[in-house]
Amino acid sequence: MCNGCVQKEYPDRGNTCLENGSYLMNYLCCASCHQRDFVLISNKATEDDDGEEIVTYDHVCKNCDHVIARHEYTFSVVDEYQEYTMLCMLCGKAEDSISVLPDDPRQSAPLF
């Protein structure tokens, strides 16, 4: 992973978790070849570990194959919620939780 390729290391992305793709707004240029071109995805792997789906891949410079960042995305179901996380020097860090029920109990107004 290369901190010379990004504007900000691990920017806070709130609840925006990317399973694939790249956050190009945070990409300066390749620190190795100094070109600002497309960022490719390589070495993509999906693993299912005890009900948790883990997707990992490398962000790579199109011109020189320099590894810009390693991306990790996780998905799991905990109780009645879908839990998402993302950690990547380029794309940032984020977490999200969504209810699997039609009405999210956390969003309900108290009756009294």
At position 92, the amino acid (one-letter code) is G
Alpha-carbon distance 39 to 41, whole Å?
Answer: 7
The H or E element that residue 95 is part of is: strand 92-99
- For the stretch 34-62, pLDDT in tens is 999 999 999 999 999 888 999 999 999 99
Q: 26 in helix, strand or coil?
A: helix
Q: How far apart, in Å, do the first and last CA atoms of the chain sit? A: 52
Q: What is the pLDDT of residue 31?
A: 93
What is the model's pTM? Answer: 0.85
pLDDT given at position 3: 81
Domains and CATH numbers, the chain: 3-99 (2.60.40.4240)
Q: Across-strand partners of 46?
A: 55
Residue-wise pLDDT for 74-101, tens only, equals: 999 988 889 999 999 999 999 998 887 7
Which residues, 6 or more positions from 94, have their beta carbon under 8 angstroms from its beta carbon? 12, 13, 14, 15, 16, 17, 84, 85, 86
